[in-house]
Amino acid sequence: EKAVNLKKDLAEMQEWMTQAEEEYLEKDFEYKSPEELENAVEEMKRAKEDVLQKEVRVKILKDNIKMLAAKVPSSGQDLATELNVVLENYQLLCVFFYLEHTEVWSCWIELLQYLDLETAWLNNLEERVQMTGNLPDKLDAVNDALESLESVLRHPADNRTQIRELGQTLIDGGILDDIISEKLEAFNARYEELSHLAVSRQITLEQQLQTMRETDHMLQVLQESLGDLDRQLTSYLTDRIDAFQMPQEAQ
C-alpha cells in the first residue's frame, strides 16, 4: 500500500512538472516593452515560489522511497527509477527559475545602469567641449581647457563594451529588441558625434597652444633683446657719447 501511495505521489509530481515545463520551459519568451518584461518577471517569481514549495514534497518522496527500497528492494527499485526522472526534471525547473529570467532581468537592469553612466559621461564631455568654444586669448586659459578636455577623453572603454555585449545578448534572445536597438543606436550616434567633436576640438586647442607658446617665446626673446639695447643706449647717454661716435648700428 505504501508503494502504491508513493507511486501515486510520483505520478502527481510528474504531472505537475510536465505542466510547468509546457508553460515555462517550452514557452517562446519575447518581450516588446519593459512592462511586458516586468510582468513576466513577476509571473516567474510566483512560479519560482511554487517550485520552491514543492521542494519539501520532493524531499519527503525521496526519503520515503529510500526507506522503502531498504525494506523492500523489489518495490523500491522501480520507484527509485521513477524518482530519478522526477528529480532530474525538478532540478531542471529550479535551474530555469533561478537563472533564466533572473539573468534576463539583471541583464536589462545592468544595461540601463551602464547607459546611465555613459550618458552622464557624454553630458560631461559635451559640457567640456562647449567650454572650449569661447576662451580668453591667454595661454593659461587654453592650457587649462585642453587638460580638462583630455582628462574626460581618457574615459575607459569598458562600459561601452559592456553596453554592446549586454544589448546584443538581449537582442539575440528576442528581449525588447526594438527598444534596445533604438537605445543603442541613439547612444552610439551621440557617442560618435561627441567623440569626433571633442577630438577635433582637442587638436585645435593643441595647435592654438603651440602657436601661443611660440609667440610667447618670440616676445620673450624680443623683450630681452630690447632690454639689452636699452641698457646699451643708456650707457651711451650716461657717458655722453656723441651719436656720430657710435657704431653705425647703434646710431
Do 32 and 62 fall into the same domain? Answer: yes
DSSP state string for 18-67: HHHIIIIITS---BSSHHHHHHHHHHHHHHHHHHHHHHHHHHHHHHHHHH
Do 78 and 113 fall into the same domain? Answer: no
Range with the poorest average pLDDT among 117-121, 159-163, 233-237: 233-237
pLDDT at residue 53 tops 60: yes
Phi, psi of 229 (to 5 degrees): -65, -40
Is position 209 within any domain?
yes
Residue ending a domain, choose from 77, 97, 117: 97
Do 116 and 220 fall into the same domain? Answer: yes
Do 36 and 134 fall into the same domain? Answer: no
Give pLDDT tens digits for 173-230. Answer: 666 777 788 889 999 999 999 999 999 999 989 998 998 899 889 999 999 999 988 8
The pLDDT value recorded for residue 74 is 67
| Residue 27 region by backbone torsions, left for phi larger than 0, else alpha for psi between -120 and 50, else beta | beta
Do 64 and 132 fall into the same domain? Answer: no
How far apart CA 67 and CA 64 sit, in angstroms, is 5
How far apart CA 87 and CA 111 sit, in angstroms, is 35
Is position 163 within any domain?
yes
Do 56 and 161 fall into the same domain? Answer: no
Mean pLDDT of the chain: 81
The pLDDT value recorded for residue 162 is 92
Give pLDDT tens digits for 85-140. Answer: 877 777 777 666 655 556 676 787 888 899 999 999 999 999 999 888 888 888 88
Phi, psi of 133 (to 5 degrees): -80, -20
Residue ending a domain, choose from 72, 97, 122: 97
Q: What is the CATH number of the domain that holds 176?
A: 1.20.58
The pLDDT value recorded for residue 196 is 94
Do 89 and 141 fall into the same domain? Answer: no
Distances (CA, A) of 70 to 5, 57, 83, 194: 17, 20, 15, 73
State the average pLDDT over residues 33-40.
76
How far apart CA 66 and CA 250 sit, in angstroms, is 118
State the average pLDDT over residues 242-251.
62
Domain interval for residue 220:
103-236
Number of domains in the chain: 2
| 175-201: b (≥16 Cβ within 10 Å) or e | bbbebbeebbeebeebbeebeeebeeb
